[in-house]
A = this chain, B = another copy of it.
Amino acid sequence: MKRNNKLSLALHTLGHMAAAPDQAFTSEVIAGHNATNPVVVRRVLGLLRVQGIVVSGKGHAGGWRLAKPADSITVADVYAAIGAPLMTVEPLAAPDGCAIVAALHSTMTKAVAEAEAVLRRHFARRTIADLAQAMVQGAKKKGDLRFPPR
């Protein structure tokens, strides 16, 4: 996983969970399916747990699963849970309160805020169930792509 792909990792995993709601997924299996590390998976899914999107269990039957129906979780929920906006603007460190820097920052902030709003609106219209459905449709064409049973 290269960079700021926490959101993608989260959504990918939730999609798989939605396609197999009765199954618990271990950090290890998820990490394997994402070319990353179990601890990284725990860190990311931990953010989702705080927001009540997933639950985790220890021990033999432990692992991660959805905390509620997949069609009640939007991509926007997950995006918010991750807490790392895809687009930010930091104010320029300019000397002496330069007026143009202030004007610039104001312009940039407004533009970025609107763009982010568009993004969130898009994300709010798409649920994890939608993603899972795409998966099932893909599986019909390409073979079963579910995680291997444990």
A residues within 8 Å of B by Cβ?
1-3, 5, 7-9, 11-12, 15-16, 19, 33-35, 75, 86-87, 89-90, 92-105, 107-108, 110-112, 114-116, 118-119, 122-123, 126, 130-132, 134-135, 137-139, 141-142, 145
Across the two chains, which residue of chain B brings its CB closest to A126?
Answer: B107
Contact of A99 among B5, B103, B110, B135 (CB under 8 A): B135
Number of this chain's copies in the complex: 2
**Given that A87-B115, A94-B33, A119-B112 are known contacts, is A99 also in contact with B134, CB under 8 Å in the complex?**
yes
Report the separation of the CA atoms of residues A81 and B45 in the bound assembly, to the nearest whole angstrom.
38
In the bound complex, residues from chain B placing their C-beta under 8 Å from that of A122 are 107, 110-111, 114-115
CB pair B139 A99 closer than 8 Å: yes
Interface of A, secondary structure class, is helix
Residues in B with CB closer than 8 Å to A90 are: 2-3, 5
User: What chain B residues lie within 8 Å of A142 (beta carbons)?
Assistant: 97, 99
Which residues of B have CB within 8 Å of A34?
92, 94
Task: Known A-B contacts: A12-B92, A86-B115, A87-B87. Give 18 more (CB < 8 A).
Answer: A2-B90, A3-B90, A8-B92, A8-B104, A12-B104, A15-B103, A19-B100, A33-B94, A35-B94, A87-B115, A100-B131, A100-B135, A102-B134, A107-B126, A107-B131, A110-B122, A111-B119, A112-B119
